[in-house]
Structure 1
Amino acid sequence: MKSDVTFADITSLSIKTYRMEEEFEFGFTEDPKFSVERYEEMIRNQDQYFFDAQAFENIIDYYIEKNDPAKALQVVEYARNQHPFAAIFLIKQAQLLVVTNRMSEAFSALDKAEMLEASEADIYIIRGNLYENMERFSEALENYEKALDMAEEKDDILLHIAYVYQNMGDYGSAITYLKRCLQHNMENQDALYELAFCYDVMDNQQESVQFYMQYIDNEPYSYAAWYNLGNAYTKLSLFEKAIDAYDYAILIKDSFASAYFNKGNALVNLEKFAEAIEVYRQTFEYEQPNGDTYCAIGECYEKLEQMDEARSFYKKSVRLDPKLADAWFGIGVTLDFEERYFEALHFYKKALDIDALNPDYWFAIADAEYKLGHMDKAEEAYEKVVEMNPLDVDAWLDYSSILYEQERLVDAIEVMSQAIKNNPEAAELYYRMVAYLFAKGEYNEALAQLEIALTSDPEKHYILFDYLPQLQKNKIIVDIIARYMK
């Protein structure tokens, strides 16, 4: 079988012609399958038939749909030989060369196509895609802008320009082009979601809400707009409004599983755990159960202190997604609640194996080790927590507490000093420091720290007495506190 046939070869042969007009003359149909069958017959017979440009396009598209780029490229070669001045086949060739990762050849094909038909928008779209993938963003933008001037359908090009600006970190420009995209096509769902993403990155939820409300005024039945509005309200902690927006999205598209899921999350934030469970369950009517939803249901049962149910759903979650760390952690939490600390520790560590940089997992491990009496391991775990999250005041307090219980007052005071450096506004740290300093006998420094604590938040002075009740009988301390409380 000949693999490469030149245009000269074809002209020197006795050629069977299968032009579309001749097909009509002989009673043939315009069905693209007919062209494919004739082309494959030609290959089998090692013959040369003539096809018009449209027939070749049909054959190429057939192999593209069959996900066979090699055969599609072979057809392109035949087409280019028979129609050397048709830019469309160079454009098709470039698309296929991109798919087969032959980038330099794709650029070459596009250059040739541009020489034949410089006003063809697809040339610049494909070239823009190539430059975008190579992170040569200015060249990508230049080509997309050229395509924009030539194309009748502009929304997808505007969307691509927005993607480039996103990749450049210029989210303001991306928003401008996404809005232009929606002006051309109000139903472009990708643009709606990307716009929400850009507002999220810029932490500009107020403007996001304003945009989607204006959009909904023109397109009240856009479920995607209502959904994104709900997400914006959620990020603003306006959960009641978020639920209303999700309800409208569901009313328009009752199979919108993501809207049910996010509505469930909003209900969780309102601590309406039983309602959230019912909403999460509704997602199962429209999509297969997944680990995230089972985990969310498990967390609701955990908050309701129905630990058997919670553990059941967490286990379903890890069966579907063994890499879901939060579900393994949730199993540990349910066991910890039942004072099964050794078992809880096993599941906390499984979560940690998946996400070793999660300070919440380390905190839980530290607490479990402490409850099991493993002070050295608890101390190591607390060190990890405050290293990863030095703003966790509770972790600093618990860490210092286990040192205090072991009568390591110097170490406890040093930990409190580090805690205060990282959280200078946290009054509870100063009150704890006062307790440790009194316990060590450093009264003057203790009173100085007490003044700082009372200046910061006098209402929290009870923390000092909770930790060292005997100080309630100390007249100096009581008098100082009374002065600040007035």
Structure 2
Amino acid sequence: MEFSQDDDNNNFSLTKFESMLKTNNVLFFDSNEFENIIHHYLENGKIALAKKAIKMGLEQHPTSVNLKLFKTEIYVLENKLEEADQLLDELYEIEPSNEEIYIQKASVLSKRDEHQKAINTLLIALDMTDNDEDDADLYALIGMEYLFLDQFDNAKNYFIKCLDLDVDDYSALYNIIYCFDFLDQNTEAINFLNRYLDSNPYCEVAWHQLGRQYFTLKEYQKALAAFDFAIISDDNFVGAYFEKGKVLEKLKKYEEAIENYKVTLTLDEPTSFALLRMGHCYEKLGKNDMAVKYFYKTVHEDPLLDKGWIAITKYYNKKRNYQKALYYINKAINIDCDNVIYWKLYAQINHRLGFWEEAERGYKKTLDLGNYELATWLSRADILIRLGEYEAAILNLIQAAEFYPETAEIEFRLAGLHFTLLEKEKGQYHLKNALLLNDEFEFILDELFPKLINKPSIKKFIVDSKKSSN
């Protein structure tokens, strides 16, 4: 039923049909012609024209089951599931052994998230088919239903059955590897791909997928060989050059990596990912001017790629050009406002610039997003102390102590804060704890609370505490 541009009769039917639409002259087509026309429009996403062809086809051939099945397909596409169900029930009464009715019924069930019922229905259709092409299509549909159920082993097995019948079905091949990946079965995926390549040695997709599996396992030399075979099989395979570049980076062969990324730019439109990788390679080679040039090319190609902006940020951060770094980190945050790494960098840059309120906001956001590193808690506390927000600093440090109990850096800060708030007993409690934990951090008091450290009462308390601990 598939429409082919090479089939002169079908091509003529399509031309005649579109001419009829333009002139409003009603012409006769046999039902097969309508089926080919409708199939062509559905394949090309021209739903409105497909619906017109179905309507006219049923006007001329009102008893055609195949044309009515196309109508159910449209109902399913438009989520008119009740109408699809009703029409399928009518068609079942006419042709109960038509497997296409079961396939469409399975589509309705799948849309309703009744995936196991859809599978059972497709299995009935499978029993009715009598050729490998139809079997392969059904195996693929069953595999997809199992994917919806997160039953990856079952899905994988049906996609393998599909590939056994149609070795050129790369969609099935990709789905098989997706299942292996989800199940963390990299070794099993490698064994499967090697068996497949024994029979299909020039399949560039299989070589590419094999390379990816070796890359995941950090077997970089084997990955490199696989990507080379993918390129030998198809020297215009952009993905193979890109992945080969990533492997060469891991092997610290940055010049060769750049050459492979450059090939991708000649074979296809420039991609921001290739440009970004080239920038990183130049950075590793110490060619900073070239690195930043490609980082800028990256964001020019894709202004919404936050990784491009972050690369520029880090470049200027290393150069200690914090004003420019701040400008670009804001660009990255505007694209991905929930990235904890970006907020941490934002906080550090503002900290270096002395923009205390902004730095505190950055550290707080970093903590809110789940970054509980000790340095983050301490940096925020130090800024709150500088801003005179002593109560907020204490609360921050108490929260930090839940993650890092018995930590001298926290205890010294709490001691200083409580002494500052004239809470002598609490100050002494935390100071004693701090000295017992690690008196080498005593300098914290001098740096953050210089007025306190010179108070005779505190000096005496420190001396006495050290003596008693000895």
TM-score by length of 2: 0.76
Candidates 167, 174, 183, aligned match of 2:155: 174
Pick closer, same or farther for the CA change 1:391–1:177 going to 2, 3 Å: farther
Q: Kindly state the Cα deviation for residue 271 of structure 1 after the two structures are TM-superposed.
A: 3.9
One-letter amino acid of the structure 1 residue matched with residue 182 of structure 2: V
Distance 1:203 1:136 in 2: 27
Q: Which residue of 2 aligns with 1:471?
A: none
Query: Is 1:292 aligned to residue 270 of structure 2?
Result: no
Within the candidate set 67, 80, 94, 1:89 is matched to 67
Q: What does residue range 31-50 of structure 1 map to in structure 2 within 5 Å?
A: 31-35=9-13, 49=28
Question: Where does residue 142 of structure 1 map in the other structure?
Answer: 120
- 1:127 paired residue number: 105
| 1:155 paired residue number | 136
Residue 68 of structure 1 and its aligned partner are, at CA, apart by 5.0
1:363 aligned onto 2:348: no
Aligned length in residues: 429
For 1:64-463, what aligned pairs fall within 5 Å after superposition?
69-99=47-77, 102-151=80-129, 152=131, 153=133, 154-390=135-371, 392=373, 395-396=376-377, 399=380, 418=399, 421-422=402-403, 445-446=433-434, 449=437
Deviates most, 32-41 or 191-200: 32-41
Q: Percent identity?
A: 30
Taking structure 1 as reference, are residues 414 and 248 closer, same or farther at Cα in structure 2, changes over 3 Å only?
A: farther
Gaps of 5+ in 1: 1-28, 452-462, 469-476, 478-486
The Cα of 1:69 is off from its aligned counterpart by: 4.2
State the match for 2:421 in structure 1.
none
SS for the counterpart of 1:31 is: helix
CA contact (8 A) 1:90 1:112 kept: no
Q: How far did 1:204 drift?
A: 3.0
For the aligned residue pairs, the C-alpha RMSD in angstroms reads 4.0
Q: CA deviation at 1:303?
A: 3.4
| 8 A Cα contact 1:97 1:105, kept in partner | yes
Q: Distance in 2 between matches of 1:396 and 1:104?
A: 58
Code of the residue aligned with 1:185 in structure 2: it is D
CA distance in 2, matches of 1:38, 1:437: 86
1:163–1:38 Cα change, 3 Å: closer
Give the direction of change, closer, same or farther, for the CA distance of 1:414–1:232 in structure 2 (3 Å limit): farther
1:213-247 deviations in Å (ceiling 9; x for gaps):
33333333222222122222222333333222222
Q: Is the 8 A contact 1:63 1:71 kept in 2?
A: yes
Q: How far does the alpha carbon of each residue in 1:238-277 deviate from its partner, in whole angstroms, 9 at most, with x for none?
A: 3333222222222212111112212222333344433322
Retained in 2: the 8 A contact 1:261–1:279?
A: yes
Shift of 1:366: 1.2
CA contact (8 A) 1:404 1:412 kept: yes
Q: State the shift of 1:309 in Å.
A: 1.7
In 1: Cα distance, 2:76 partner to 2:127 partner:
24
TM normalised by structure 1 equals 0.74
Aligned-partner residue type, residue 66 of structure 2: I
Deviation, 1:183, is 2.2
1:53 equivalent in structure 2: 31
Query: 1:284 corresponds to which letter in structure 2?
Result: L
**Cα deviation digits, residues 358-387 of structure 1 (max 9, x gap):** 111111111111111223322321222233
**SS of match in other structure, 2:304:** coil
**Aligned partners of 2:322 and 2:352 also within 8 Å:** yes
- Alignment check: 8 A CA contact 1:403 1:412 kept: yes
